Amino acid sequence: MQRTDWGPLLDHTRRLATEFLDGLPDRPVAPARDATALHATFDRAVPDEPTDPRAVIDELVRGADPGLTAMPSGRFFGWVIGGGVPAAVAADWLTTVWDQNAGSAEGTPAAAVIEQVALRWVAELLELPVASAVLVTGAQMASFVGLAIGRSEVLRGAGWDVEADGLHGAPRVRVLVGAERHGTIDKALRLLGFGARGLTVVDADRNGRMDAAALARALTVDPGAPALVCTQAGNVNGGAFDPLRAIGEVVAEARAHAPIWVHCDGAFGLWARAAPARRALADGAELADSWSTDAHKWLNTPYDCGIALTRHAAAHRRVMRGGAAYLPDDVPAVRTAFDHAPELSRRARGFALWAALRQLGRRGVAELVERTCAHAARLAEGLARLPGVEVMNDVVLNQLVVRFGDDARTRAVLARVIAGGACYPSGTTWRGAAAIRISVSNWTTDDDDVSRALEAFARATAEV
């Protein structure tokens, strides 16, 4: 066996990693080169000969660095992206080194136990009646898992066994979604056999919240049909929450006529339930049957870490059951991930999730949520003072949507702010108009970051 002297290579890599992390406060947030330029750097022929590992790492860092966005920076406000709290970053390094294939409890006991405990902690922090949960890549796959279980359960309630008989000839399942749902819901539904034309789209208000009365009306059409209802805790643009309690009550009545499953997409918003002062926003989320959320967004674990949760343990296992003669089954008290996740081989994401929760504790998670929301409120106040700026959403969480006059000016301000490097918001279309969205999701964002971002916007507004 070839033995490697790991120390020098990993010490060297640690120095490079530390340089990157220490440089974040000063580094321009936007990458220096775009993907086309980077492509030219890396698009070479397959190398014929082996290369010394340290030289490989140096070449990687030299080539990649100009194409790195400072996503873990406190001034990265694009999409909804967290950083990594230190214990989670360090645990994630160990995850790579330990290289556990976290598919089974017998094969990788530490990974299995720690994932299961971390998931229980998540359920407790979010105060959700979870009976079964699993880690996946992100909210996209978590919604896929939740809706797959829902599809099976509502069809079962209508007398159809989708695990045995598939979808051909199955009773029609109605799928009701809010007008401002996230695109990952559509994709999860498509993968599960529910095409775009079959969706019933329920109206949403100006902040993107589903109209519960409109849902009630929609459920009276074909009231005996099995149905999936997709709700949202935290709109990707403005952070608004569907009226989850009212929706839960509407569904409870409609269940007198048909089996109905409620899935709640709370990729980041569900974490509001971990902060006492914000919890009311997501009140009623506990009435759903399944939930999707992420640790890699607001909880600040490194990518990737999605979380699928459900109150229906037996259905979860039945739908995701892998089973293979050569694979070990559950061990007492710890379940096999392969029987709960879509994948067999999988990264042991539980180590980083456990480490983040262990570092922050209940208080740290609540403070992270509150602090980022407070920064978002300050950004909203500061931006609203600039001439011609409209804050388009009710800023209830860590998200804001702003517009600078017309579409062209808004896009020009966005381009200038990003090019300036001081902060990185991202663009969107909101109520049919171009807008800039700001998500404060990073655990390191502080008052100085907020001030620098406001200065950058003030400069860009004056110049455009």
Ligand X SMILES: Cc1ncc(COP(=O)(O)O)c(C=O)c1O
Smaller CB separation from ligand X, 140 or 393: 140
How far apart CA 394 and CA 229 sit, in angstroms, is 25
Q: How far is the CB of 58 from ligand X (least distance, A)?
A: 31
Residues 231-260 that bind ligand X (CB under 6 A): 232, 234, 236
Closest CB to ligand X belongs to which residue?
138
| Nearer to ligand X among residue 226 and residue 306 (C-beta) | 306
DSSP 361-430: HHHHHHHHHHHHHHHHHHHHHHHHTSTTEEE-S---SSEEEEEESSHHHHHHHHHHHHHH-S-B-EEEEE
Work out how close the CB of 447 gets to ligand X at its nearest, in angstroms, rounded to a whole number.
25
Binding flag, residue 342, ligand X (CB under 6 A): no
Query: Tokens standing for 302?
Result: 């490194």
| Listed ranges 134-142, 170-178, 320-328, 377-385: which one lies at the site for ligand X (CB under 6 A) | 134-142
Q: Of residues 419-448, which lie at the interface with ligand X (CB under 6 A)?
A: none
Print the binding letters for residues 304-323 with ligand X: x by CB under 6 A, - otherwise.
--x-----------------
Q: Which stretch binds ligand X (CB under 6 A): 1-9, 14-22, 90-98, 132-140?
A: 132-140
With residue 112 as reference, give the H or E element that holds it: helix 109-126
Ordered strands of the 306-310 beta sheet: 132-136, 306-310, 290-294, 260-265, 227-232, 174-178, 199-202
Contact window for ligand X (CB under 6 A) among 45-53, 56-64, 87-95, 136-144 = 136-144
294 binds ligand X (CB under 6 A): yes
Longest CA–CA separation in the chain, Å: 68
- Per the listing, tokens 């079959």 go with 198
Sign of the alpha-carbon dihedral angle for 187, 399, 78, 342: negative
User: Which one of the spans 116-124, 261-269, 328-336, 393-401 is the region binding ligand X (CB under 6 A)?
Assistant: 261-269
* Residue 182 interacting with ligand X (CB under 6 A): yes
Binding of residue 413 to ligand X (CB under 6 A): no
Kindly calculate the radius of gyration of the chain based on its CA atoms and give it in whole angstroms: 23
Contact 239, 393 (CB under 8 A): yes
| Integer CA distances (angstroms), 168 to 165, 196, 320, 346, in order | 8, 18, 20, 31
**Is 79 near ligand X (CB under 6 A)?**
yes
Given a contact cutoff of 8 angstroms between Cβ atoms, the answer to whether 91 and 100 are in contact is: no
Residue 80 within binding range of ligand X, rule CB under 6 A:
yes
Quick check: 289 binds ligand X (CB under 6 A)? no
If one asks whether residue 136 binds ligand X (CB under 6 A), the answer comes out as no
DSSP one-letter code for 203: P
Asked if 180 is part of the footprint of ligand X (rule: CB under 6 A), the reply reads: no
Q: Is 140 in the site for ligand X (CB under 6 A)?
A: yes
CB of 121 to ligand X, least distance (A): 19
If one counts every other C-beta atom within 10 angstroms of the C-beta of residue 247, the result is 27
393 interacts with ligand X by CB under 6 A: no
The residues near 416 (Cβ < 8 Å, ≥ 6 apart) are 459, 460, 463, 464
Residue of 184, 207, 301, 336 that binds ligand X (CB under 6 A): 184
Closer of 73 and 140 to ligand X (Cβ): 140
Cβ nearer to ligand X, comparing 146 with 259: 146
> Where does this chain bind ligand X (CB under 6 A)?
79-80, 138-140, 182, 184, 232, 234, 236, 265, 267-268, 294, 306
